[in-house]
Amino acid sequence: MFRSFICKLESRLSKALPGREAQFSMAPFARRRSNSFPKEIYDPRLSAVLILLFPEGDSIHTLLIQRPEYDGVHSGQIAFPGGRFEENDIELKQTALREAFEEVGVHQEEINVIGNLSDIYIKASNFLVKPFIGVVGERPNFIIDVYEVQKIISVDLFSLNDKNKIGEKAIKHSDGYKIKTPYYEVEGLTVWGATAMIISELNVVVEQTEITFS
């Protein structure tokens, strides 16, 4: 199942992506109203995340991390491994692979990147994020950087589309205001914002791949 599905998924990723329509189904409501992608001249900080897929049991899993509590806009949030582009990175794909190694200890040469999802802009940190999808042949021996990662969450890829795990609530933003937003419940944790928007597009792609696969 694993190899066959990954092959189909790679083929699907080579075609047009669902993009903003899929992302915005899980966007905070204020962002939906503003349709916020800055039209004025701006200088975002480029960054990348890695959606790592690996076999576990009879299914396919991916990895989320919980950020430590700190004085910053992404304190304690659930995310995919990733970070900002650095001068030594050849390209954004390299950023995603480097960050995955630094944060959860997966060696870059073990990962086969099969494609990417649509870019997403994070206004709070002025990041323009490109999500890459990478594959390893077996569950890695994760080694976390405790300064970057508080907890890792291995989650069944197909369970992310469970409608019973989607809700809406007010969440306190880093600026102190509460915002109403949809969210995913994953292992009792609230996944919202940019990560939820990335997962939303991922779910559409996976669903389309499953239809082809079946």
The amino acid that residue 179 corresponds to is I
In CATH terms, the superfamily for domain 2-213 is: Nucleoside Triphosphate Pyrophosphohydrolase (3.90.79.10)
Residue-wise pLDDT for 64-98, tens only, equals: 999 987 665 556 789 999 999 999 999 999 999 99
Please state the domain extents for the chain: 2-213
Asked whether residue 41 carries a pLDDT value surpassing 50, the answer given is no
pLDDT in tens, 113-157: 999 999 999 887 889 999 999 999 999 999 999 999 999 999 999
Residue with token string 């304690």: 76
